[in-house]
Structure 1
Amino acid sequence: MTDDQLFDAGTTVESGGKESVLRDVRSYRLARVQEQLRKHKCPAILLYDPVNIRYATDTSNMQVWAGRNPARYVMVFADGRIVAWEFHSSEHVWDGLDLNVELRGALSWTFFNAGHGAERRAEAWAAEIVDVFRKHAPGDGLLAVDRLDPFGTACLEKHGITLLDGQALMETARLIKSPGELVLIGESLRTAEKGIERMRHELRPGLTENDIWANLHYENIRNGGEWIETRLLASGDRTNPWMHESSSRVLQAGDLLAFDTDMVGPNGYCSDISRTWLVGDGRPSDEQRKLYELAYAQVHFNMDVLRPGMTFREFSEKAWKIPEQYIKNRYCCLAHGIGMVDEYPSIAHQVDWESAGYDGLFEVGMTVCVESYIGAEGGTQGVKLEQQVVLTENGCVSLTDCSFETDWL
């Protein structure tokens, strides 16, 4: 993918064009899943993760609830056939999709649904799964599964089914984004930017963290978005260490306020942007400016280093070196993949490589979030920044125009 193949990040997709984009994206994503199945000589994959189901079929049904309650599942075959077990009276979520799909009713054996009859229901579920699987893949016993509890695993293995790690297969399929996916990601990012602009406009002393955070939710839902994965917004001394979630704390003039959107927006694509602001009309202190300068340097140095063809380990070795006093509170990774949610890979800091690192290769078409958190051990404030990019033949291209506090530098 060259830079001139990128979509115009500010373009609005008209309804007719949007349907064309969606058709292309659906075909591309299903083909990516089929490609992984063929590569692993696996005839089918059973999907429970709502994000994986959305990727393969573009169907969505109570995504957050279904992530906790396994009440719908889909089997995708290497030849493109799909058997879907849909939640009660929800067959309509498949309307208008050009898929070779057979719809059935889902059977759940969670305690909520089955009480103490869970094991019996799991056995009935497994018998149906195996029947469908062997009907379309006779003589083969290898089935990929992305998520399954102990009852389900035991029941399938009792029927002679060998299970393959389907989550790894799906994360690999989701790795490279098509031009159409970049259009949809752009639509999600434009929604996040509206939410961020609204947060910035409302930011003032006397409001609570929750007051500010609500503005991102408002714009996301208002513009057809779906949910927000975390509540990462903090102010004042709650900015150090990072990972405090939005609270009723009242903002004070001179506070730093930092946030991480983690927003699943329109079309199910994630916008993951972090920024840090000053509360009130004053100027940042020397300490605040220093923290910001370091975080800004880390993000932009690492964006300049990152290139397709580079291994994960090489990037970790060449990344910006965090000054000693900020190492303990470093962010959990240097960068991570992004698509419908946070995705493979997660790139470990060099100091963490032996315990948390794994290798791989950056490729053209990957979308990545480059991360920074700078806050001293024992300090009272910190700065969180994050930029979402796509990898092209010429390196990183930012996917958002959301501004930085460059006048602090």
Structure 2
Amino acid sequence: MKHRLHKLREALTQVGAEAFITEKTENRFYLSGFTGSTGWVIVTEKEAFLVTDFRYVEQAQEQAPEFTVVNNERKAVEAIAKLLREKGIKRLAFESSVSFSTYQEWDKGFDGVEMVPTSGLLEKIRMFKDESEMVIIREAVRIAEAAFTHIQGFIKPGVREADVALELEFFMRKQGATGSAFDMIVASGVRGALPHGRASEKVIQAGEMVTLDFGAAYQGYHSDITRTLSVGEPDPKMREIYEIVLRAQLAGLEALKPGVSARDADAATRDIITAAGYGDAYGHSAGHGLGLEVHELPGLSTVSTFVLEPGMLVTMEPGIYVTGLGGVRIEDDVWITADGHENLNKSTKELLILPV
């Protein structure tokens, strides 16, 4: 955790603040390792504090050895204000994403402290995954990949999308996941045209394509995989669309390397899909950052300003969605390395046709 605190302190000097406060779950965990549901991290130029209540004091002391743990005694704002006074903090950086009511409470309660709003201060640090994070993320990917192999023997005509999602989560939990990374997408047949078609009561039919977008939550981190398969022989048009998306996804993967702009990585997929006549059916970005949150920096899109650097972890997930027909998406999790990238996913991307 020390190197993360060091990077945060460097960022604080750039915004002219003497300390930083966060109550965001992911940022609190990233800086301290604390997994409790309530707590505030305050980082100054030389010290780090974790304010929490009596339920979590012992846990915080065990999980966050680099931090001084403060019992707020059910009055968090007063405890934090006292701490800020004792440390002589006059300019406190906070995340502009906090609720307006929280900002008002802090602004009023931290008397004599100037509140300095920041955006993405810590999230930009979190973009770069170290090896200790990658060990966890690789396991989250392994669990999801094992679940994809397992579910191929479960999907058949007559099975509900909701039952597929339930089976995936149950399997991943048995493999060590704490749960699903997000509400799973299981979209069959014409519902495949819904990019975020969450699992429904719909019954899967022979000849339908099924898009599965899911991931495992593991030790605070997440994986995110999408595969589209066919239950029996697919419609020829859907097979054609599948091949277009696959070519686009492979081109997108080829573009993922240091020095490439996020826009160009997106364009590598978009150009192929547009040339095939489906540009209007590809309405989302090519990918996103992945880690403590399922969607984090950097984004791979037509408007992104990021340039890929070693240590970034992104998804690559182009898709085509045709109303009344169906849809296809293929997604991998990719770590940018000094000499290119590492694709964490090994599951086949050739069109799988399940027996009926």
Structure-1-length-normalised TM-score: 0.77
Change (3 A) 1:317 1:222: closer
Residue 304 (structure 2) pairs with residue 347 (structure 1): no
* Aligned partner (choices 11, 26, 51) of residue 36 of structure 1: 11
Q: Hey, what does 1:59 align to over in structure 2?
A: 34
Residue range with higher mean Cα deviation, 93-102 or 336-345: 93-102
- The separation in 1 between residues aligned to 2:79 and 2:70, in whole angstroms, is 13
Alignment root-mean-square deviation, CA:
2.4
**Which structure shows the bigger proportion of residues in strand conformation?**
2
Change (3 A) 1:290 1:175: same
* Aligned partner (choices 310, 317, 330) of residue 364 of structure 1: 310
* Aligned partner (choices 140, 143, 150) of residue 93 of structure 2: 143
Aligned partners of 1:44 and 1:75 also within 8 Å: yes
Q: Hey, what does 1:199 align to over in structure 2?
A: 151
Identity %: 23
Instruction: Kindly report which structure 2 residues correspond to 1:38-187, keeping only aligned pairs within 5 A, or say none.
Output: 38-61=13-36, 66=37, 71-86=38-53, 89-97=55-63, 98-105=65-72, 107=74, 125-136=76-87, 138-145=88-95, 147-158=97-108, 159-187=111-139
Change (3 A) 1:400 1:132: same
1:99 partner amino acid: E
Secondary structure in 1 aligned to 2:251? helix
1:213 partner amino acid: A
Aligned partners of 1:261 and 1:272 also within 8 Å: yes
- The separation in 2 between residues aligned to 1:240 and 1:277, in whole angstroms, is 14
Q: For each residue in 1:233-287, what CA deviation from the matched residue of structure 2 results, as whole angstroms up to 9, or x when unmatched?
A: 11111101321110111111111110211432x21111011001112xx333321
Following TM superposition, by how much is the alpha carbon of 1:226 offset from its aligned partner in structure 2, in angstroms? Answer: 2.7
Structure-2-length-normalised TM-score: 0.88
1:258 partner amino acid: T
Change (3 A) 1:151 1:205: same
Aligned partners of 2:19 and 2:91 also within 8 Å: no
**Which structure shows the bigger proportion of residues in helix conformation?**
1
Change (3 A) 1:301 1:259: same
Instruction: Kindly report which structure 2 residues correspond to 1:203-242, keeping only aligned pairs within 5 A, or say none.
Output: 203-228=155-180, 229-242=182-195
- The separation in 2 between residues aligned to 1:191 and 1:106, in whole angstroms, is 40
Change (3 A) 1:100 1:210: same
- The separation in 1 between residues aligned to 2:330 and 2:100, in whole angstroms, is 40
1:83 partner amino acid: L
- The separation in 1 between residues aligned to 2:10 and 2:174, in whole angstroms, is 36
- The separation in 2 between residues aligned to 1:373 and 1:162, in whole angstroms, is 46
Q: Any unmatched runs of 5+ in structure 2?
A: none
Change (3 A) 1:397 1:51: same
Aligned partners of 2:51 and 2:80 also within 8 Å: no
1:94 partner amino acid: A
